[in-house]
A and B are shown apart, each in its own frame.
Chain A
Amino acid sequence: MNDSKNPLSPHLQIYRWQISSLLSITHRITGILNLLGLIFISAWISSAGIGENLFEYFSVFLKSFIGKFILIGFTWSISYHLLSGIRHFFWDLGYGYEIKTVNISGVIVIISSLLLTVFLWLIGRGLI
């Protein structure tokens, strides 16, 4: 079909990197990571449904160093996407379009995504 007439956007390789574009692409990357996480969760649940033997593989993996690392990474990915999503909601409602506000809210999203990750792990592990 009309491949050549179909505009592509945004041109990642052309624009200068700024916090706004970095956060935008990170929202999309974390979206894809979250999908992978969702697929993993489905596999984990399915294994529990199928039987203990299969579930044990997941259990051993989740308790391993790499497993924990991935679960922490997934927690951050979810945290970031969720907080960035809230930022998008404000834009949808018509707020926060000034350049200064965009930059500030961007930094808030980055910092609070890290804090939320730590917070969720402290609660999840019963430490608070």
Chain B
Amino acid sequence: MKASRKWIMQRASALIVAPLIVWFLLSLITLSTGDYNSVINFFSKPLFLILTIILLITGFFHAKIGLSEIVEDYIQNEKIKNAVNLLGLLLSIIIPSITIILLLYKF
């Protein structure tokens, strides 16, 4: 990705993630005191399900860009840099994918 495009995407994704993560964090704090059924009820609401999916995709996307920025600044060795970036890319695709598939399968 071009640096300027990265710059814009980092900020655009931040605008989406910011309200969603506050909402989800509040829900997590509430749900952490409850039981399994309260969590099932939470994700059974279509709106909450969709918002969670958007949060996962955008959140990991935002994290991936940020991580590569940090890697760019602190890791000098090209091979290690590419390896860390590749690992970050794979994780930021695989983790939300598995989570979303499980969510859609269950709810």
Contacts and interface: CB of A to CB of B under 8 A. Distances in A.
A38 B59 contact: yes
Contact of A41 (B11, B28, B70, B107): B28
Contacts of B29: 71, 75, 120-121, 124-125
Contacts of A44: 28
Most buried by A among B25, B33, B56, B78: B25
**Range, interface on chain B:** 35 or more
Contacts, number: 107
Contact of B105 (A49, A56, A82, A89): A49
A21 to B, nearest CB: 13
A48 B43 contact: yes
**Range, interface on chain A:** 35 or more
Interface in A1-29: 1-3, 6, 8-10, 28
Main SS at interface, chain B: helix
Contacts of A73: none
Contacts of B66: 28, 31, 35
B2 to A, nearest CB: 17
A32 B14 CA distance: 15
A46 interface: yes
B9 to A, nearest CB: 13
A38 B60 contact: yes
The 7 A-B pairs at the shortest CB distance, nearest first, are namely A124-B29, A49-B102, A62-B32, A49-B106, A35-B63, A42-B99, A1-B78
Given A3-B78, A10-B73, 5 more contacts: A2-B78, A28-B66, A35-B66, A41-B28, A125-B30
